[in-house]
Structure 1
Amino acid sequence: MDKLINKIKDSFTIQDLEILTGIKAHTIRIWEKRYELLNPTRLNRNVRTYNLSDLQKILNVSLLYKRGHKISKISKLSDNQIAEEAKVFALRDFSNTYEINSLIICMYTFDQKLFHEIYKQQSEKLTFRQIFTNTYIPLLNHLGLLWQTDSIKPVHEHFVSNLIYQKIALNIAKIPSNKKSNNPINVLFLPYGEIHELGLLFLNYYLKLVGQEVIYLGKSIPFDNLFYLNSQIKSITWITYFMIDKTKEEKDEFILSVSKLLEHTKNKCIIVGNIWEEYRKKNTNEQIIFKSKLEELVSVNEAKLSVI
């Protein structure tokens, strides 16, 4: 986190800082008043804005604070000392929070070099499965929330998403082709209108890695195309992944379409995403399986898929 921030102007509200750090806005205001921790620009009496340096500092502060450091002691450190303390802590405990915070700064500053440096450092200690599960998935969860709250521009999300996409594609290319088997073919898709496909693409990598047969359809697939594929392949495990919330009407329509897709077959559909929690509780269709997180499908340490 001691990287120099590129001169790309951007500003953040206190609500943005709350979302990015997990520290309540009320607490941040108290820290400002009591410890002069940040120096926001005041647009008027009630509105403050924060720059990238403020974001970098509060991310480091939140890392130390959540690990037991008292805010009264943190506030006495200089910005450079706070950054160094966060770095030392991360290196000692190899906390993925440090990498996630670094990637958030990387995203806002469009720093490709920093992204690749973080990946190289992690690759020396972790498998790609571990990097994605422990760092990229939490980051993607952040992006989903930031997207919904207009805390990031599309250009930010596209920048970091495409860098992660490149790493997934690179690792997929290293996997030898799998032999055909009698097991169900995993068909991975995102429904029409859903465009956040990185989680699904990683699952494509993971399934191939553990020897599963996969057809990857990608994003925004109309259901009539799925019905056509259903007529061509006898045994299918459908898998889809949601990052962004939908209205109740949209969810009901999707579940109805999935139910029709599964009718008169022995196929199953795995729906991943925490937006489906209420549906999971009420689900009576044994062919539909709800998973809250992608991590529930992926074993980081052993080569197996927990539900297939």
Structure 2
Amino acid sequence: MGHFSIKDLESLSGIKAHTIRMWEQRYGVLRPVRTATNIRTYCDSDLRRLLNVATLCERGQRISQVASLSEQELCSAVAACCDDPHQHNPQITALLMATLDMDERRFSCTLTQAAQELGFEATVLNIIYPFLYRVGVLWQTGSLNPAQEHMASHLLRQKLLAASDALGPSDEDEAPRWVLFLPAGELHELALLFMNYLLRARGHHVLYLGQNLPVEELASICQCYQPQHIATVLTTVPERDRLQTFVDELARLCPAIDFVLYGPLVHQPELQLPTRFVRLQRMTDFIQLAEQLRVAVVR
């Protein structure tokens, strides 16, 4: 069972802490327990109820009405109202609840419906990325078990692969050529899969090599495929004290290639980037780069 602070609930629900306190005191929405030092703590059932209450309130229902609903009535009302993907927070909440309940069908249907209405790219940026942030909070608080996290990651991976496969390879000879890979030991693939989709959607050529590639293979890959660009995502690999050595090795193996680095590890302030390397802060920066390179080729 998870134990949440009110700040945890704020991060997960999007509802400000002072609003949660007001709902708690005035309407009895939650009933936290208090520690020996009089600090409120909340459990899994509190989180689930708050997510459902927040979803209905965001759709314009009054808190006084929502607070009076039984748990069954609350769940039924939420299920009925999460059909508008243009209001992103209800969709994020629906994914989070489906993950906690390990409901694959509800998870998949929520994503499919949002993609049909919003488009796949907007769904990833506006729904999936905020959802993954909230999953991270749940993981940190011990309220998400490995099976739940694996289910969500697997289903997201399937959606990204299917969307990329539907695009097919570029048929333009002069389009930019990319290699996408994760280094040996790096298994966090979702961001790289989305990069694959973004590039293909803009007509780039992509050689997608996925997880766990020994960097020594890059030299022969470049010789054979002749890319102009290589992108990788560094989340947990390499270790921080080996990061500079790793980046320098990439530059040595492929001295004429432009490298794009993404992920939490690449923003270490002490990291010195070799010539032709760039690190990106946000996925929207990668989208901008892909579009600029495409326009340059068209011209």
What residue identity is the alignment partner of 1:268?
Answer: D
Shift of 1:90: 6.9
2:111 is the counterpart of 1:122: no
Structure 1 position 248, deviation (Å): 3.6
Q: Distance in 1 between matches of 2:98 and 2:107?
A: 6
Partner SS for 1:297: helix
- TM-score, scaled relative to structure 1: 0.74
Matched, 1:48 2:37: no
Partner SS state of residue 167, structure 2: coil
**Percent identity of paired positions between Structure 1 and Structure 2:** 27
Map 1:1-308 → 2, pairs under 5 A: 10-14=1-5, 16-22=8-14, 28=20, 32=24, 36-40=28-32, 48-52=41-45, 54-61=46-53, 74=63, 77-78=66-67, 80=69, 94-147=86-139, 150-179=142-171, 181-243=173-235, 248-263=240-255, 265=256, 267-279=257-269, 285-298=274-287, 305-306=291-292
Letter in 2 for 1:238: I
Contact 1:230-1:261 at 8 Å conserved across structures: no
* Consecutive aligned runs of 4 or more in structure 1 exceeding 6 Å deviation: 24-27, 42-45, 81-93
- AA aligned opposite 1:288: F
Secondary structure in 2 matching 1:193: coil
- Relative to its length, the structure with more helix (as a share) is 2
Shift of 1:285: 3.6
Where structure 2 has 5 or more consecutive residues not aligned to the other structure, the ranges are: 295-299
What letter matches 1:179 in structure 2?
D
Deviation at 1:86, TM superposition (A): 7.6
Aligned counterparts of 1:256 and 1:23: Cα–Cα separation in 2 = 45
CA-CA distance at 1:215 after TM superposition: 1.0
Q: Helix, strand or coil for the counterpart of 1:305?
A: helix
For residues 12 and 179 of structure 1, the distance between their equivalents in structure 2, rounded to whole angstroms, comes to 53
Asked whether the equivalents of residues 187 and 237 of structure 1 are also in contact (C-alpha less than 8 Å), the reply is yes
Instruction: Tell me: CA distance 1:113–1:189, structure 2 relative to 1, closer, same or farther (3 Å).
Output: same
2:297 corresponds in structure 1 to none
SS in 2 for 1:181: coil
Partner of 1:4: none
Structure 2 length normalisation: TM-score? Answer: 0.76
Q: Which residue of 2 aligns with 1:3?
A: none
Cα-Cα RMSD: 3.9
Give the 3 Å change call, closer, same or farther, for CA 255–167 of structure 1 in structure 2.
Answer: same
**1:85-108 CA-partner distances (Å, limit 9, x unpaired):** 988997678221111111011111
CA offset digits 1:242-265 (Å, max 9, x no partner) = 4559764243343333333343x2
Q: Are the aligned partners of 1:96 and 1:134 in contact in 2 as well (CA < 8 Å)?
A: yes
Tell me the number of residue pairs that the alignment of Structure 1 and Structure 2 aligns. Answer: 288
Q: Secondary structure, in 3 states, of the residue corresponding to 2:117?
A: coil
Q: How big is the shift at 1:268? A: 0.8
Structure 1: 5+ residue stretches without partners: 1-9
Seen in structure 2, the aligned counterparts of structure 1 residues 115 and 79 have a Cα distance that, compared at 3 Å, is: farther
Q: Is the 8 A contact 2:3 2:44 kept in 1?
A: yes
Task: Give the conservation status (yes or no) of the 8 Å contact 1:16–1:151.
Answer: no
AA in 2 matched with 1:240: T
**CA drift at 1:42:** 6.3
* Counterpart Cα distance in 1 of 2:20 and 2:237: 28
